[in-house]
Structure 1
């Protein structure tokens, strides 16, 4: 029959229940339970024990829930709930439900027993021990609060333990690092365990800030704890096991007793570290293990107020990886963390707000990722800046750029940039080392030891990676100023729109800042200036039978432009490969599968060509032909302006009068000094193919020519750095082929101009007949209606007349008024004899001699003489009839006479 508890004992139990319900009870639960068990359970009848055990379990349930380890050995074993492992055969549970050592009676024995435990921070450890022996260096116990190894005997254990005993007979806290001797963190009071029956209750707390406190109660009840000291140590933040380690001599093998192990964590997880892995990824490390389900919920993380990650990966017991769909903001970002729990159910009471600064890792810039946005090429006279050449660099990306080793070059020299970083959207000015202090007031300054000197007129500047890969190139020119006054010095060139880096003159201009420039600062000229127009194919030329060069007006998408599918040639020739020429990517070389034929005109079609800004073209076409070897006289001087207007410049016009296509690359323009060809100037270093009948105008300033002669053909103007000197009174123009032969030569004098002109400044001399010789008789002043005809048909051009008789006049009526229409008459001749000499005299209708036109001229087989309508005294002949009296003399003294009529007309 079941027995009932005595009423007096039931009252005591009720009283104890009330005590358990009070908030002040806290950690006294274990010691009170031990007090109950030893005081009451052991004194009552065995029949009541089973009923009372159920009562104790009910009383302790709330405290068991709060504790992460609660081991009282009341179940009589240590094999489950929880499971202990190690030297299990050397321990036992004694009749008092205590863990007791039972190892071999051998001096130097070391025993260990562990159970899983991940609590490490914000935790309280508590246990009861009784060492019924005199502690010494050979008799003590280490209770491991934290261990990363299951085998506590292993030399590579990391963790913390409480040592009871040892030579000072104390209770102390130690840290154990793998492979090293233990380090004492808290040195407990000596002689606290100095008897042969040492009862002690130990409590260790570790705050979330890694502040440790060691307390002991030598009464064993847990009611009289005394602090042994504090320490701060964060070396080990993770745990896998809790356990005991014993060392003893043979007589003490069964004298270690343990009970009431309790590990309690009531603190929510704390974010210890936030690490940026890349611009879109974070690693979060917490002070303790997390509940995986909450840790992987993306809604628990919010970046900068509104952005949730696309991935929240629980990568370890206390580590979370977050991946976002967009990059972090450069500078300060804020991460908000909600609802996380640790393994023991402790939740965040308030969100964690963690600010972090993101500066992307520095990388070498790629193509167009580092720009030259300002160029001070002509620093004198200084306007408001130090009188020093400089370039300005700009980082248009969201990356941090590493400039170390980048090569900055002009046409003749290269400088290496130092170990400097450029933040996103940051500017920096590059100057010689000696000028760094002078420019520091403006912003970031980069000093280099061998600053390449900048040409005032312009040149190609490049930025390349250490391995030579192109970053950026700009081929500036002084025409980019678009302001003649600022062009003279003291003003920088500024890029207008930094988002349009591929553009040339249309995206650069003179600075508008009163100082003359804006080094290391946003440009004064900055404004929105996008490129919305597709590329234009300027021309196609050949340099060899199997190569065609295409030139475009702007930079291309080099990858897209390298595809063979965009190009075709008619008559059909297969294209073997395509090369896009850097660093400006405005030229494309087509490598042909079979050779081109001379004197054959081809048509190139380029389709869907994309520029650097992404604009795609409609089909583009250009004609070309394979150049032939030139012969002297194929390309001749067709027009020369040697006496320009004030402020004007000279020009020389050439024309290809052959049926060949002739490449002017390597040709030179010269004059004559001391009867020798001298002062040679390169016409062009690039291929420039002149088609049959095509004109080219050589000048140092094409813009000046178009300003003075609006009808000039801009596409025929070819800029030379300078022309040889051609004086106003007289000189000689010489054209030299690439093979060194003289293509043509013309000696001029100012008096060759039509004598009735009041002012010859700005009026060119033009070739009259294309096939005629480069002599004075075949040149005439340009019509006063145009003054010059650069790039198109001469105003005084005359088609050759094939004489049907020995002499023939054309036109028979002319008007020498300089209007460009029949301003002179030509006396054309044809003879089948050689060695004939001619005299030509002009008579008026009354038979009066007015002009000796030709005297003792040796005739060619075909040719002409010209009369400009002027008398011997330089006056204009009156309107009316005139007679050309022509005398021919042969080698043997024979003589022939001819009379031809001509009419001088005029306006009425």
Structure 2
């Protein structure tokens, strides 16, 4: 490249004479301009003409050349006199364009005018290296048919490579006659202009030349713009350029504002431009100004050249190819073809992405995408091959075989490169619709802000397009949802004595989040390793150097954790956790159940951990009984979910519905299940199973357990009364009618255990059975150190009349309780006043004792 530039610079002294003009008036052809070649075979005669003067030997060929780079937009003119009869052995070739100084060489390229030959004419030829010259313009025969053949020749070549040959046989230049035209662009570079004569021995001194003039009045023309790579162009002009202007970066502008960092003249008419930034994919505009050719012809106005740049397609990197729309439930049809689909989007600004070999997976299957490409910012819909025609009207369609079926409720979708590297992953859910009606089918899920692919549910919602979706098109819900908030820890779960799994609310910077120094545990335990879990990068596995202890609460601190968007949290975050213990039946029990919801409501089952253990509900199940068989099993959660001592969890398929119907519900206690077992309104059995298959708790309910004076049971839950009591009918009561249910917090009818100092005690001693949640019933607590006792309890009013047989032949435990809801035997409400519990105890050997306890039925004003 330096040698090429040096050659160009060496030609600079010739620029002034490049528009050749030589009439030999100085009597010397060796300078001003310099002619070289067979100098001993030419002279300048007394008439100041160039004359042949070679050896008188038949078959001699002699030549002279002078530098010339004129190729287009040029006029060549000269005078000649051949004082001989022209023939195949007596003629002259005047080379207008030649790439070599040796015109006799077989490999010369160029154009020449031949005067003479067998038909005594003046014609224009093209010479290609190694080939016989071909005629372009065949001049009129017999125009040089005497022995004193004077002719003035004029040849023009336009910037469009159109040739014209004219001659004036008077030699005056006043009577030119056109010999013909032709278009030829085979040779676009020149180094020399020259004359070559061939003669027999008698004609060695009979060739005369004069008035050579080469005129170029046209500015350079950009013939070719070639993109070399994303930041480099090659410009090829139709003629050599003046180097200083050609290498001035200010003379070039890309897309109105961008200047090159390098402007280099690599050949006489070729410029290399290098830019500091990549070209835009698609249309670009280059503006060129102030360039000159070697003859000083300057561009009269800027040249504007539009070009399209499409870089080579590359495999996408992380988050460069993303899923921006999901049609998981296509029926009932709204306006689109009845077909599941996903939409892909090229999230880059300057890359063409190839899809060839990319693996698309759902939770259970994988397929491979075909050889297709996506331009920056381009969308495409992916459907089965059989559905391509149905989706073509919407935009770009990619058909695949073995299209993975999408789960309506949600699942994990992944895109991976052929080498297995993750490109994008999304774990969608039908809760992302944020619209109860649309989640039932026919509407797609659309990403709101495609520039924020790291976001989760907050960046997705149901389509608002009237067709139900926007396959292969910008999403109907498009808006800006910037991520300006650093990540926070959602949960910490000890999945083994030496491993703690952290879950964050958004995707993390996997490098930053894997730094051990960013984490600490109290009481102090050293951390051996930290690994961010793919493919969603919302989980971090912390490996400890020594094991955790059961029933010990720990605190984990994390700092300097950044999300995928780069938001960094410099403030420590803390979260408690503990090592879960193996459960035993009765540790986690049923605390509340809603089996007869309001119209359009849903069921829920509330569990509570009444042990001192931390218990993981992963792989626990809800079920029912069919006869003696446990059936209709539903997994509560497939992920870790640890219940602390005394913690509630509300199991439901629709937490939003529960929150709507019970505004006081604690959302943080909700655990969504895809579906619950069927719990009929009249009666049923709730079964809770541990992962080992043991029954953790079981509750057989019926609508008869509700408070008899309730007018409407819909939406009223049954609540556990005493946490440490048995899961039996007598330990459950209708929730207070002021709130109807207490999902996620303490039951409205909850009663703490009473320390019994005698065999029986009553609390409260005054109650008001009106369903308002305040002392709606009274409890008869008992405690005995004798086994095998049986009890009868009868309620009498203050006049001694029997009101209700409350308990009959009930075998007593060591301690427990009985409940009276203030109802008489016929189901009517007992009036206000004093009542007596008449309690009879019978021993195994027939012994009997009687106890009486007073209670008051009151009324709340």
Distance 1:650 1:154 in 2: 99
Quote the Cα distance in structure 1 between the aligned partners of 2:519 and 2:683. Answer: 50
TM-aligned CA distance change 1:674 to 1:179, over 3 Å? farther
Distance between the aligned counterparts of 1:678 and 1:339, measured in 2? Answer: 87
Partner of 2:657, secondary structure, is helix
> 1:503-533, CA deviations, whole angstroms, 9 ceiling, x for partnerless residues?
4444444444444444555544445554454
Q: Answer whether contact 1:66 1:265 (CA < 8 A) is retained.
A: no
2:530 and 2:229 map into 1 onto residues whose CA distance is 38
- Structure 1 residues 432-471: aligned runs within 5 Å: 432=384, 434-436=386-388, 438-439=390-391, 441-448=393-400, 451-465=403-417, 468-471=420-423
Q: Secondary structure at the match of 2:751?
A: coil
* Aligned mates of 1:101, 1:466 — CA distance in 2: 77
How far 1:719 moved relative to its partner? 0.8
Q: For the residues of structure 1 that align with 2:520 and 2:81, how far apart are their CA atoms?
A: 98
Indicate if the aligned counterparts of 1:535 and 1:552 stay in contact, CA closer than 8 A: yes
Q: Does 1:841 align with 2:793?
A: yes
Whether contact under 8 Å (1:402, 1:419) holds in the other structure is no
Q: Which position in structure 2 is the counterpart of 1:343? A: 294
The one of 149, 163, 166 aligned to 1:212: 163
* Rg comparison, structure with higher value: 1
Structure 1 match to 2:656: 703
Answer yes or no: is the 8 Å Cα contact 1:90–1:103 preserved in 2: no
Return 861-870 or 783-792, whichever deviates more.
Answer: 861-870
Tell me if 1:880 matches 2:834. yes
For 1:356, the equivalent position in structure 2 comes to 306
Name the residue aligned to 1:787: 740
Q: How far did residue 698 of structure 1 move?
A: 0.9
Of 221, 224, 245, which residue of structure 2 is paired with 1:270? Answer: 221
> Is the contact between residue 511 and residue 523 of structure 1 (CA under 8 Å) also seen in structure 2?
yes
Cα distance 1:739–1:135, how it changes in 2: closer, same or farther (>3 A)? farther
Per-residue deviation, residues 252-284 of structure 1 (Å, max 9, x unmatched)? 888877665543322221222334556665443
In the alignment, is residue 232 of structure 1 matched against residue 183 of structure 2?
Answer: yes
Superposition deviation, residue 601 in structure 1: 2.3
1:476-875 map, 5 Å: 476-558=428-510, 560-617=512-569, 618-804=571-757, 809-811=762-764, 814-830=767-783, 836-844=788-796, 850-875=803-828
Structure 1 pair 422/166, CA: closer, same or farther in 2 (3 Å)? same
* CA–CA distance in structure 2, aligned partners of residues 553 and 209 of structure 1: 66
State the Cα distance separating 1:232 from its structure 2 match: 1.0
> Contact 1:362 / 1:399 at 8 angstroms: preserved in 2?
no
1:284 is paired with a residue whose SS is strand
Q: Deviations over 1:381-429 (max 9, x none)?
A: 4444554545555556544744543555544455655555555555555
Contact 2:803/2:825 (<8 A) preserved: yes
> Could you say what the CA RMSD is over the residues aligned between the two structures, in angstroms?
4.2
- What is the number of residues matched between the two proteins? 840
- Displacement of 1:720: 0.7
**859-868 vs 291-300, greater mean Cα deviation:** 859-868
Structure 1 residues 77 and 385, CA gap change in structure 2 (3 angstroms): same
Residue 156 to residue 367, structure 1, CA distance change in 2 (3 Å): farther
Instruction: Say which is worse superposed, 618-627 or 640-649, in terms of deviation.
Output: 618-627
Question: What is the TM-score when the length of structure 1 is the normalising length?
Answer: 0.80
Q: In structure 2, how many angstroms separate the alpha carbons of the residues matched to 1:315 and 1:430? A: 47
Query: What is the TM-score with the length of structure 2 in the denominator?
Result: 0.84
Do the aligned residues in 2 keep the contact of 1:147 with 1:160 (CA within 8 Å)? yes
**What secondary structure is seen at the aligned counterpart in 2 of 1:68?**
coil
Contact persistence 1:486–1:510 (CA under 8 A): yes
Structure 1: gaps (5+ residues) = 1-62
Between 1:817-826 and 1:703-712, the stretch displaced more is: 817-826
Q: 1:104 to 1:640 in 2, by over 3 A?
A: farther
Tell me, yes or no, if the aligned pair for 1:311 and 1:321 is still in contact at 8 Å: yes
Verify the 8 A CA contact 2:52 2:204 in the aligned structure 1.
no
* Structure 1: distance between partners of 2:62 and 2:808: 136
Partner Cα distance (1:462, 1:418) in 2: 16
Structure 1 residues 137 and 130, CA gap change in structure 2 (3 angstroms): same
Q: 2:464 touches 2:476 (CA, 8 Å); kept in 1?
A: yes
Residue 55 (structure 1) aligns with: none
Deviates more, 1:68-77 or 1:199-208: 68-77
| Contact in 2 for aligned 1:301/1:308 (Cα 8 Å) | yes
Q: CA deviation at 1:152?
A: 4.9
Q: CA deviation at 1:906?
A: 2.0
Worse overlay, 397-406 or 542-551: 397-406
Cα distance in 2, alignment partners of residues 178 and 661 from structure 1: 91
- Pairing partner for 1:285 from 236, 243, 247: 236
Select 1:159's aligned residue among 110, 132, 135.
110
Call closer, same or farther: CA 1:635–1:151 in 2, change over 3 Å.
farther
Residue 904 (1) aligns with residue 848 (2): no
Which digits, 9 at most, give the CA deviation of each residue in 1:218-254, with x for residues without a partner?
A: 6666666554432211122122334456677899888
Check conservation: 2:762, 2:855, Cα contact below 8 A. Answer: no
Whether the aligned pair in 1 keeps the contact of 2:28 and 2:44 (CA below 8 Å) is no
Deviation at 1:655, TM superposition (A): 1.9
CA distance in 2, matches of 1:138, 1:686: 100
Residue number in structure 1 paired with 2:4: none
Tell me the equivalent position of 1:184: 135
Aligned equivalents of 1:155, 1:544: Cα separation in 2: 87
Q: Distance in 2 between matches of 1:250 and 1:688?
A: 112
Displacement of 1:174 in angstroms is 3.2
Cα distance in 2 for partners of 1:604, 1:167 equals 104
Q: CA deviation at 1:722?
A: 0.7
For the 8 Å contact 1:140–1:248, the answer to whether it is kept is: yes
Aligned ranges 1:289-304 → 2 under 5 Å = 289-302=240-253
- The change in CA–CA distance for 1:120 and 1:483 in structure 2 (over 3 A counts) is same
Distance, in Å, in 1 between the alignment partners of 2:590 and 2:20 is: 106
DSSP-derived class of the 2:69 partner: coil
What secondary structure, in the 3-state scheme, does the structure 2 residue paired with 1:721 have? Answer: coil
Task: Provide the C-alpha distance between the structure 2 equivalents of 1:164 and 1:577, rounded to a whole number of angstroms.
Answer: 91
Deviates further, 526-535 or 792-801: 526-535
Whether the 8 Å contact between 1:334 and 1:353 is mirrored in structure 2 is no
CA distance in 2: counterparts of 1:176 and 1:469, whole angstroms = 58
Q: Give the distance between the partners of 1:563 and 1:735, measured in 2 at CA.
A: 40
Partners of 1:363 and 1:399 within 8 A in 2: no
Residues 1:858 and 1:244: Cα distance change in structure 2 (over 3 Å): farther
Aligned counterparts of 2:719 and 2:726: Cα–Cα separation in 1: 12
Could you report, residue by residue, the CA deviation over 1:76-109 in whole angstroms, capped at 9, with x for unpaired residues? 66665445566x58745466674646579697x8
Q: What is residue 60 of structure 1 aligned with on the other side?
A: none
Structure 2: unaligned runs, 5 residues or longer: 1-13
